Amino acid sequence: MSNAASDGPEAMQWDSRARRVVTLWVPLCCFLFILLFPFYWMTVTAFKPDAELYDFATHNPFWITSPTLDHIRKLLFETSYPSWLWTTMLVSVGATFLSLFASTLAAYAIQRLRFRGSQYVGLAIYLAYLVPPSILFIPLATMVVQLGLFDSPMALILVYPTFLVPFCTWLLIGYFKSIPYELEECALIDGATRLQILTKITLPLAVPGLISAGIFSFTLSWNEFIYALAFIQSSENKTVPVAILTELVTGDVYQWGALMAGSLLGSLPVAIFYSFFVDYYVSSLTGAVKE
């Protein structure tokens, strides 16, 4: 009886550990594998010579026997990839700043000025985000051509806010709502203007929300495909997602090594951007200043 009693807590502890492994660690490992395997496959393919890429009978498809830099060298020195990368960075940064500027003003006006019908305006702005880009790019193409911006990065900088501003505005409305209004009331009593309140009180407190919206805008601008394919024609002005598909595929021949190298190098700026601001991004999901 004493042995059974002493084994009881140990058995319960073992059952708790086994249950934790099954319910937490196994799903987490599966999730990490599914999430990270594409990056592993891109890395392996980017550094694998063509002889290993197309000969699965004698070479392991999941491992590299003789690493090479030929694909990266070809991508950087035999194509316009540096120009594509620069255009993508310029478009993403420009569209992100333009979207954040417009979204901040719209979200602050809807949440703080409290005019009649402000809630319905906020809902209407968010519903605009749900309109598919495949429908919008047809009238937007007409406007881009009439303004003389076709085949120019400026066309993408001005077009991307059409789907970035609605979501960023909706996100910032929720974040501004969590900032105590009493702080602004005190500033109004002291004689501060709305612009001073926005720049000196609200925006410093809303930095995590702004960074969260900025990450969202930068990522979508970097990976956008439909508008970049429709509005950019010349090879040197193309963005990375479009260029690696249209310039590195000749007929039915896919240059897999260069394709994966371009995809890998193109994903690094977004990963670096996330790594610098991940703390602010997490804090924006947990709320702002507590009352």
- pLDDT, residue 290, reads 43
Give the E-state strand segments of 183-285 in sequence order.
Answer: 249-250, 253-254
Render pLDDT for 28-85 as a digit per residue (tens, 0 to 9): 899 999 988 988 988 888 898 888 888 777 888 888 888 888 888 988 888 899 999 9
Q: What is the largest CA-CA distance in the chain?
A: 90
Identify the DSSP state of 191.
T
Provide the 3-class DSSP secondary structure of residue 250: strand
Q: Is a pLDDT exceeding 80 seen at residue 288?
A: no
Tokens representing residue 235 in the block: 């090879």
Render pLDDT for 30-45 as a digit per residue (tens, 0 to 9): 999 998 898 898 888 8
| Count of alpha carbons within 13 angstroms of residue 37, beta-carbon side | 7
User: What dihedral do alpha carbons 229, 230, 236, 242 form, nearest 10°?
Assistant: 0
Render pLDDT for 211-270 as a digit per residue (tens, 0 to 9): 888 988 999 999 999 899 989 989 889 999 999 888 888 777 788 888 888 988 888 888
Specify the DSSP element, H or E, that contains 244: helix 240-246
Render pLDDT for 148-170 as a digit per residue (tens, 0 to 9): 999 999 999 999 998 899 889 98
Q: What is the mean pLDDT of residues 192-210?
A: 86
Radius of gyration of the chain, Cα coordinates, nearest whole angstrom? 25
Alpha-carbon distance 110 to 100, whole Å? Answer: 15
- pLDDT, residue 164, reads 92
Render pLDDT for 121-152 as a digit per residue (tens, 0 to 9): 878 887 877 888 778 888 888 899 998 999 99
Torsion 290-206-164-240 (CA) sign: negative
Close Cβ partners of 53 (under 8 Å, ≥ 6 residues apart)? 45, 256, 257
Q: Where are the alpha helices (DSSP H) in 21-132?
A: 26-46, 50-53, 70-77, 81-112, 118-129
Provide the pLDDT confidence category of residue 8 given band limits of 50, 70 and 90: low
Q: What is the mean pLDDT of residues 269-276?
A: 79
Question: From residue 194, how far is each of 92, 117, 187, 200 by CA, in Å?
Answer: 30, 20, 9, 10
Provide the pLDDT confidence category of residue 12 given band limits of 50, 70 and 90: low
Tokens representing residue 14 in the block: 């073992």
Instruction: Classify strands 249-250 and 253-254 as parallel, antiparallel or unpaired.
Output: antiparallel
Provide the pLDDT confidence category of residue 285 given band limits of 50, 70 and 90: low
Q: Is a pLDDT exceeding 80 seen at residue 286?
A: no
- pLDDT, residue 283, reads 61
Neighbours of 158 (CB within 10 A): 19
CATH number of 70-285: 1.10.3720.10
Alpha-carbon distance 245 to 243, whole Å? Answer: 5
